[in-house]
Amino acid sequence: MEKIAIIGLSCLFPDAQTVEQFWDNLMAEKDSTSLATRSQMGVDPDLFYDGKSGKAVEPGKYYCKRGGYINGFQFDPAGYHLSPTLLTELDRIYQWSLYVARQALRDSQYLGKSETLANCGVI
């Protein structure tokens, strides 16, 4: 078995863009769910909604409008050594992944240390 070390930690959850915020929300038993919106779904959420909870829901439909949606996150494309235009045009899931990876590297104090990072991976 290969030895590994966890050197940095980060997260992006509803109402939490840092590990500390996430922990505070857990301790406060905060409900970070919200209703789906057009901007999150890309279409009117009612288009695929079928409120028959507990029954056979039609394929391609969902029975709950509440979910753990990430709201208010603003991606900053600066400092990634890639075209800011390209990064701005990426799907949100890629932007979220880049943000979390960068924050974990910052937490590890290895951000910008390319020689050391050449021996690292992301899980």
pLDDT tens digit string along 21-58?
Answer: 999 999 999 999 999 999 888 899 999 888 776 666 77
Measured between alpha carbons, how far is 88 from 84 in angstroms, rounded to an integer? 6
Collect all residues with Cβ–Cβ distance below 8 Å to 109 and sequence separation of at least 6: none
Q: Are residues 15 and 25 in the same domain?
A: yes
- pLDDT band per the 50, 70, 90 thresholds, residue 63: confident
| Maximum mean pLDDT: which of 20-34, 58-72, 103-117 | 20-34
Domain membership flag for residue 49: yes
In this structure, the answer to whether residues 61 and 43 fall within a common structural domain is yes
Residues 27 and 43 in one domain: no
Residues 81 and 99 in one domain: yes
Same domain as 9, residue 19: yes
Residue 56 structural domain: 34-67
Q: Are 34 and 66 in contact (CB under 8 A)?
A: yes
Predicted pLDDT at 54 = 63
The pTM assigned to this predicted structure is 0.79
Split at pLDDT 50, 70, 90, the class of 123 is: low
